[in-house]
Amino acid sequence: MSYVGFYKRRRAILEHLESGRIGLLDLGVHDFLCQRANPMVDNGSALPPGVWFGSARSICALCPREADERTVRRSLQHLEELGWVKRWLIPGKHGNYPILVARLMVANSAGSEFQINAEATTDWKQPKLEPAASCPRAVRRAASIREQRSEKGEESFAFAGKYLRLTGPQLQAFREGFPGLDVEATIRKADAWCVANPERAPRTRHARFVNSWLRRERPAASGNNPASSQSPLLVGDADPRGQVSPEGEKLYEKFSQGGAP
């Protein structure tokens, strides 16, 4: 069977994983259900959007490596207790049954997106859909983010690269702190370096990373005279141009002859 395309998944699920609310197995089972459920509305499928027919046994059959039916069954029960899935079990039978994935994003042929409202769904054949932009959960989340930024006095990002993000006040502070430097061009260069070296790119504290980058670029923008930098390089400090400044060489000679600093 060929699998193509992708589905949206909120990174905030990692908060539940780190807090211990769910485990790695729960995360894997939920991800499996999200990818197995019907992602389209009115696409001619026998399954309604957001629904998959399965069970712990079928999950283990489709995922034979390190899969235990009893453990998967407990994981499904835990996910239902959390409200992440909704199941319609058939009493007295252990075969496949309808599983609805809560808050799964589905779309129609026109590209409009909807979110599954499992809590309001009583019949798995007719799941309740809400336009993604008007989902109460999404609206509350967006309002919460705006409120937090307002309380902190933060603005929207004035610079948003592949890795680096800077707010308006941060960018203005860098312009004032490095008047002889093309701050925007230098930040774009730093972001390009992060693209080429993703394992060394900062995950947080972007402003501190950019500040260090700008400080290294400042001597090069001051001219060819190394002495024009505001502070001399000490022993062992490498000049960004690959040379040691005259001040550094004098200090090195003084230390090597046993002199005091």
Residue 223 has pLDDT above 80, yes or no: no
* pTM, entire model: 0.52
Total tally of structural domains belonging to the chain: 2
CB neighbours of 105 closer than 8 A, spacing ≥ 6? 7, 8, 39, 113, 114, 115, 132
| Residue 114 is assigned to a structural domain of this protein | yes
Residue 141 has pLDDT above 90, yes or no: no
Looking at residue 11, its pLDDT comes to 84
Q: Are residues 134 and 159 in the same domain?
A: no
Q: Are residues 49 and 109 in the same domain?
A: yes
Give the count of alpha carbons within 13 A of 176, CB side only: 6
Name the β-bridge partners of 51: 100
**Residues 86-89: contacts with CB under 8 Å, at least 24 apart:** 86/118, 86/121, 86/124, 88/124
Q: What is the pLDDT of residues 159-216, one digit of tens each?
A: 888 889 898 889 999 999 998 889 999 999 999 999 998 888 888 889 999 999 999 8
| Residue 159 is assigned to a structural domain of this protein | yes
Residue 253 has pLDDT above 80, yes or no: no
Out of 80, 106, 138, a domain closes at 138
Query: Cα–chain-centroid distance for residue 21?
Result: 19
Out of 77, 109, 138, a domain closes at 138
Residues above pLDDT 70, as percent of the chain: 73
Looking at 153-241, list the stretches that DSSP marks H as alpha helix, in order from N- to C-terminal side: 168-177, 183-196, 206-221
CATH number at residue 29: 1.10.10.10
Q: Are residues 108 and 177 in the same domain?
A: no
Please tell me what DSSP assigns to residue 223.
Answer: -
Q: Are residues 116 and 18 in the same domain?
A: yes
Looking at residue 243, its pLDDT comes to 45
> Which residue bears the tokens 């994983």?
17
Looking at residue 138, its pLDDT comes to 55
| Residue 147 is assigned to a structural domain of this protein | no
Report, as an integer, the average pLDDT of 92-96.
83
Q: How far apart are CA 257 and CA 238, in angstroms?
A: 21
Residue 257 has pLDDT above 80, yes or no: no
CB 166: neighbour CB atoms within 10 A?
Answer: 21
Q: How far apart are CA 79 and CA 26, in angstroms?
A: 7
The closest of 191, 193, 189, 199 to 157, measured between CA atoms, is: 191
Q: Are residues 211 and 99 in the same domain?
A: no
Q: Are residues 68 and 178 in the same domain?
A: no
| Residue 6 is assigned to a structural domain of this protein | no
Report, as an integer, the average pLDDT of 237-260.
47
Q: Are residues 162 and 252 in the same domain?
A: yes
Q: Are residues 103 and 218 in the same domain?
A: no
Looking at residue 217, its pLDDT comes to 86
Residue 80 has pLDDT above 50, yes or no: yes
Q: Are residues 175 and 243 in the same domain?
A: yes
Looking at residue 5, its pLDDT comes to 76
Q: Are residues 77 and 165 in the same domain?
A: no
Chain mean pLDDT for the chain: 80
| Residue 7 is assigned to a structural domain of this protein | no
Q: Are residues 196 and 114 in the same domain?
A: no
Out of 81, 107, 138, a domain closes at 138
Q: Are residues 160 and 125 in the same domain?
A: no
Q: What is the pLDDT of residues 102-113, one digit of tens each?
A: 999 999 888 888
Q: CA of 35: how far to CAs of 58, 100, 113, 149, 152, in Å? A: 15, 12, 16, 34, 38
Q: How far apart are CA 158 and CA 166, in angstroms?
A: 6
> What is the residue range of 199's domain?
155-256
Query: Cα–chain-centroid distance for residue 46?
Result: 34
Lookup: tokens for 151: 């309380």
Looking at residue 192, its pLDDT comes to 92
- What radius of gyration, in Å, describes the C-alpha atoms of the chain? 28
- As a residue count, the chain comes to 261
